[in-house]
Amino acid sequence: MKKLCASLLLLCLICAPALGEGEIDLFATPAPMATAAPSASDSIPDLSESPLVESPPIHLNCGSALLLEPQSGQVIFEMNAEVPRPVASVTKVMTILLTLEAIEQGRIAADQQVAISESAAGMGGSQVLLDVGETQTVDVLLKSTIVGSANDACVALAELMYGSEELCVNRMNERAAELGMESTHFVNCTGLPAEGQHTTARDVAVMTMAMLSHELYFHYSTVWLDEVDHGDGRVTQLTNTNKLTRLYDGCDGGKTGSTNEAGYCVSATAKRGDMRLIAVVLGADSGSERFDIAGDMLDYGFANYRLYPVAKRGTKVRGTLPVEGGRPDGVSLVLDGDLTLLVCKGQEQQVRLAPELPESVRAPVRVGQQIGCVRVEQNGKTLARLPVIAATASEVKGIGGNLKRFWRCWPLAG
């Protein structure tokens, strides 16, 4: 029986008509599909379990590092990326993320006035010099946090969102857990030195991806120079702490940090064409060196890799799958997922699609029912799996016809 089903399926595929537009033949090597990549806000992918390059191809004079393509979640290379360490003001990425989410959810508004507390005004380190009782908008406080890494503005946002910095930190740790940041623990919202506060290069990459998924972030991150008017005649100048936004082609965001215990850190992002990269550098010896290392990492990524659209949700699978005891006796199949891979330039044709489908299924089959999957391979290594679902339905043969005959033969009431 199995041999017969296999023969019928093979015959169906051989005799099937030529591929139409938007169809994919899983039993041959597919050509690249021209499909637009989804926006970053659609989803935040999981980071790949292993990097494309086993060891860093460039010299990295820092404690930890990681280079990532955020649309696919593919890590290109990493070094000590799972070692917990302090990251100074890079911690603010999580506070910024929570603020962006609160604005998006309507919990707070960009034009909302915020009265500065004594706790916020008394923060040390980098500041925008807010006074107790001074009022500023969320817009100004968020800009001051992103551009100037201002601790006082950061704490003011934390207090606005959750009532206190302590409660905000609780939410930061909850959000980290939701994002799968298993090696992260926050003690404050600013990154100022605190016992027990740590994260990793991988976790920094994850929360950076989440932050970048909010388009509003880039309204602030690309500001190079600005100022904060305190309303009493004082004005504080803001200069972007991320020098790469001015010095590196395509850099439009990121977060810096530096303390004696953390060294010099940066999570920087740049976009060229349709590809964005994130470079995380932790524990460099100087501010300029962290930027040099991040620039070298980004250069390597843009020079050697490209995004390759492999498949698009709704793409038809060639032929039909036999349905035992069904009417009709076959169903059409489609892919139930999008996939864009990061591949080394020149190796696109090494990507293969391998079906994992049954020889047949039993009726009934409903539209949207998962039938199997497609395995995406490169050089014999499985990179991903995409679900394959039924695009058409098949009912159990005989039930519908018997019912119709039954009603036709039923005598009418006199």
CA quadruple 145, 151, 152, 155: dihedral, nearest 10: 90
CA distance 133 to 231: 12
CB 276 within 8 A of CB 67: no
CA distance 196 to 85: 10
CB 353 within 8 A of CB 24: yes
CA distance 160 to 110: 12
Confirm whether 149 is a catalytic residue: yes
| From 64, 89, 126, 394, active-site residue | 89
Q: Position of tokens 């060229």?
A: 272
Confirm whether 3 is a catalytic residue: no
Confirm whether 164 is a catalytic residue: no
| From 117, 149, 213, 394, active-site residue | 149
Select from 20, 15, 32, 24 the least CA-distant residue to 314.
24
CB 343 within 8 A of CB 372: no
361-362/316-324 β-pairing: parallel
Buried b (16+ CB within 10 A) or exposed e, 45-64: bebbeebbbeebeeebebbb
Alpha helices in 16-63 (DSSP H): none
CA quadruple 162, 166, 170, 171: dihedral, nearest 10: 30
Percentages of the chain per state (helix, strand, coil), in multiples of 5: 30, 30, 40
Type of residue at 110: A
Type of residue at 317: V
CA distance 96 to 191: 12
CA distance 243 to 318: 51
As beta bridge partners, residue 279 has 67, 268
CA quadruple 161, 162, 167, 169: dihedral, nearest 10: -10
Catalytic residues: 89, 92, 149
